[in-house]
Amino acid sequence: MTADTITTADIRINARWLIPIEPSGIVLEHQAIIIQGTRIAAVLPVAAADRGFRTRETIDLPHHVVMPGLINMHGHAAMSLFRGMADDLPLMTWLNDHIWPAESRFVSEQFIADGSQLAMAEMLRTGTTTFSDMYFFPEIVAQLAHDTGMRAQICFPLLDFPTVWGSGPDEYLSKGEALIEAWKDDDYIMPAIGPHAPYTVSDGPLIKALALSEKTGARIQIHLHETEFEVADAVEKMGKRPTERLAELGVLGPRTQCVHMTQISDTDITLLAETGAHVIHCPESNLKLASGLCPADKLMKRGINVAVGTDGAASNNDLDLFGEIHTAAMVAKVVANDAAAFSAHEALQGATLNGAKALGRDHELGSLVAGKLADIIAVDLSDPFTQPVYDPASHLVYSNRSRAVTHSWINGAPQVQDGKLTRIDVPDLMLRVEDWARQIRQQQAD
């Protein structure tokens, strides 16, 4: 290649290993990623990059694996302020006796802003570049994520009863439609519809949510088949399983993200496969609340897209997606009675490309391919707890505990450099977090 064919670009990342996710199941060595503006211009061997590109910045990562940023497909970001507040309790006791009373006492615009920033700091430090949030005051979270430069699906809440954010379904839907309109063309924010669960949302609002989805293209995310009680109660009261009810209403479809799915039959699986609905697997929350186990491997074998989420830090108790896929892989093997189930590469895909598919953005997110958006992370494998390195993919799932994430870029802009956040003032954030903790402790003592 002659000098006059050299291309100029913004950033070059030289990586010891690279896991592109597409093609699946491969690890490349001594690769360079070229970033131009917000997108990946090229992924090629270091020697070829030497011949073909000149960049204004070069980042050498000689002990790192570079991969797409992680996509956390389900959570309640601001609930990070309730982390560890009510542990070791069954789901309905946890909700009815602790979480919902605390929410009624503390949730406000400032609570949402501070709790969500705490969540984003944790997620960025542990490799997440895109997250899905379902909680109150979604307009606050949308603006905060946008200002931070973090990608987010923001699901506005929809329930049959009043909350701090609205008087009932009609107000939720009206505010939600305004949210969708406000952010419909944004590159970072993906507004979506968040009916809480079949047992908290009646048919009328679900039908209206579906109409809004069809009108705007917004995704629908719903907690579904989370516990055995939920399913049994639905059968007793309605004569049908929740998936059957949603399918009859037309709510199950390729824009629908079904969260949890721990209690599912072959009929449920067939409905998911036929409608093209996505499953969001949150194993650690399900384990901690004794909700059940999602048969992730069985779902994938039926062609159902399975992405991964952490759920909120009040029921997990962290937002570490590397830890989540570690648990997902381990649990899947036991559920399937197959040590090969949910392999390391499948787990990594569940936290990247499969999340992008659920968002409808797999054409530009979820893998390191030229032309896609430059959402990239780097993980240092030089520490003793990840040595020796035979298979970087294996280490990322089974050995790494995410503190080894050293760099992160979203839209080509640095979010984490040498393990430090670039866009969040952590000392100031910690002062606000401690003030909330003091208030919550006082309320618990009263």
Q: Is the pLDDT of residue 123 over 70?
A: yes
Position 94 scores a pLDDT of 86
Give the pLDDT confidence of 80-91 residue by residue, as tens digits: 999 998 899 887
Q: Is the pLDDT of residue 51 over 60?
A: yes
Position 91 scores a pLDDT of 79
Q: Is the pLDDT of residue 226 over 60?
A: yes
DSSP 227-275: SHHHHHHHHHHHSS-HHHHHHHHT--STTEEEEE--S--HHHHHHHHHH
Q: Is the pLDDT of residue 2 over 60?
A: no
Tracing tokens 């919902």 back to the chain, one arrives at 100
Q: Which helix (H) or strand (E) holds 182?
A: helix 169-183
Give the pLDDT confidence of 383-431 residue by residue, as tens digits: 998 999 999 999 999 997 788 999 999 999 999 999 999 999 999 999 9
Q: Is the pLDDT of residue 350 over 80?
A: yes
Mean pLDDT (the chain, rounded): 96
Q: How confident is the model at residue 3 (pLDDT cuts 50, 70, 90)?
A: very low
Give the sign of the dihedral formed by CA 165, CA 80, CA 312, CA 94. Answer: negative
Q: Is the pLDDT of residue 127 over 60?
A: yes
Position 4 scores a pLDDT of 54
Q: Is the pLDDT of residue 444 over 80?
A: no
Residues in the chain: 446
Q: How confident is the model at residue 1 (pLDDT cuts 50, 70, 90)?
A: very low
Q: Quick check: helix, strand or coil at residue 436?
A: helix
Mean pLDDT of 297-324: 96
Is 3-69+366-411 a CATH 1.20.210.10 domain?
no
Tokens for 33?
């990623």
Percent share of the chain, pLDDT over 90: 92
Tokens for 389?
């390195």
Mean pLDDT of 69-95: 92
Asked whether the beta carbons of 347 and 328 are under 8 A apart, the reply is yes
Of 436, 131, 92, nearest in space to 291 by CA: 92
**Helix runs in 314-365, H state only:** 321-336, 344-350, 353-359
Q: What is the residue extent of each domain of the chain? A: 3-69+366-411, 70-359
Asked whether the beta carbons of 345 and 372 are under 8 A apart, the reply is no
pTM, entire model: 0.97
Asked whether the beta carbons of 147 and 119 are under 8 A apart, the reply is no
DSSP 88-156: S--HHHIIIIIIHHHHHHH-SHHHHHHHHHHHHHHHHHTTEEEEEEE-S-HHHHHHHHHHHT-EEEEEE
Position 446 scores a pLDDT of 72
72-413-346-300 Cα dihedral, nearest 10 degrees: 50
Of 345, 351, 397, 393, nearest in space to 375 by CA: 351
Position 401 scores a pLDDT of 73
- CATH number (1.10.3720.10, 3.20.20.140, 3.40.50.2300, 3.40.50.2020) of 70-359 reads 3.20.20.140
Q: Under 8 Å CB-to-CB from 110, ≥6 apart: which residues?
A: none
Distance CA 390, CA 65 (A): 12
Q: Is the pLDDT of residue 434 over 50?
A: yes
Asked whether the beta carbons of 329 and 282 are under 8 A apart, the reply is no
Strands 128-134 and 151-158: parallel
Q: Is the pLDDT of residue 153 over 60?
A: yes
Angle between helix 242-249 and helix 266-275 axes, rounded to 10 deg = 30
**144 phi-psi bin (left φ>0, alpha ψ -120 to 50, beta other):** alpha
- For residue 82, give the DSSP letter: G
Q: How confident is the model at residue 49 (pLDDT cuts 50, 70, 90)?
A: very high
Asked whether the beta carbons of 144 and 138 are under 8 A apart, the reply is no
Asked whether the beta carbons of 19 and 391 are under 8 A apart, the reply is no
Q: Is the pLDDT of residue 152 over 70?
A: yes
Strand order in the sheet with 306-308: 70-72, 128-134, 151-158, 189-195, 220-224, 256-260, 278-281, 306-308
